[in-house]
Amino acid sequence: MPVHYEMREAHIALITIDRPEARNSADMEHFKLLREAWDRFAADGDAWVAIVTGVGDAFFAGADLKTYVPEITKFQKRIAEEGLTEIDGYRLDDGTRAVLRNWPLYKPVIAAVNGFCTAGGMEMLGGCDIRVACPEAKFAVMEPKRGLFAGGGTTVRLPRQIPWPQAMEFLLCADLVPADRAFAMGLLNAVVPRTELLDAARAYAHRIVVNAPLAVQATKQSALQGLYFDEDLTHQLRAAVRELRQAVAAGADPSAAADVLERLGKELRSPFEKEAKLSSRIFQTEDAKEGPKAFAEKRPPVWHAR
């Protein structure tokens, strides 16, 4: 399998992109396999943290331009003509889900960057929470050099994750950036020798899995919803607009529109309000009782993720 999913240690999933003959770039099949690996991690109750890495001299190089563009063009045409959302397990969102673009994965993800991290690799890196790299790793948003556009989330995520001037240097110059420079720019947590890369990633994972998993996930959820608060707001407003349009088209009583607006007002939440709601939910879990109890009894806590 060109994308491996392993559970070598308790609660830690290791996802490895294994297509060195194409510098770990992806055609339609490999985007599908990577999306399936993330779906598996999201659904696996025993997997609390994921580490993603590559083999050879590349981490992930995004789409294999020689094969992916003609494949996806034909696929999009079939989807439109046949009125389907999926064909033989392939979906239109395989590419974006594979690079963790704009979907609610609240389990922590650690990137162990073993080499070139370009195009879709940078897209996926933006969806990773902790990033360690070896000195040989290089980073780039290279799409502008080929007349293309980084549409997997990087132009939205990168300026929110590192300082604006650094992000724009990445996005506009489209140069290969060495690991030490990427670290100085705030893109990475650490640069370690290649032989120590996975050990360093596992060390971060071990520091995370000793904590209560539901509390960790809620913490990441609150952080992401605060950083990308406009996403939730946009979806809620669009839903309300659709409902209002349908009510008007159906000649509904004006009170129906008032009801939609009233409900929207109740559903809208600021990031701090979302944080308070998550906090309330976590304090009601069994793990929230176990943590203080273990502390009082001077023993390690036993988390049950409930």
Residues marked as catalytic? 123, 143
Number of H helices, E strands in the chain: 13, 12
Report CA dihedral (84, 87, 92, 98) to the nearest 10 degrees. 150
Q: Which of 12, 100, 112 is nearest to 55 (CA)?
A: 112
Q: How far is the CA of 285 from the CAs of 36, 97, 224, 277, 288, in angstroms?
A: 30, 30, 22, 13, 5
- Quick check: 43 and 5 in contact, CB under 8 A? no
Q: Which amino acid is at 206?
A: H
Q: Are the C-beta atoms of 191 and 138 separated by less than 8 Å?
A: no
Task: Give yes or no for a contact between 108 and 220, defined as CB atoms under 8 angstroms apart.
Answer: yes
Phi/psi of residue 227, nearest 5 degrees: -70, -35
DSSP H or E segment with residue 35:
helix 28-43
Contact criterion met (CB below 8 Å) for 207 and 129: no
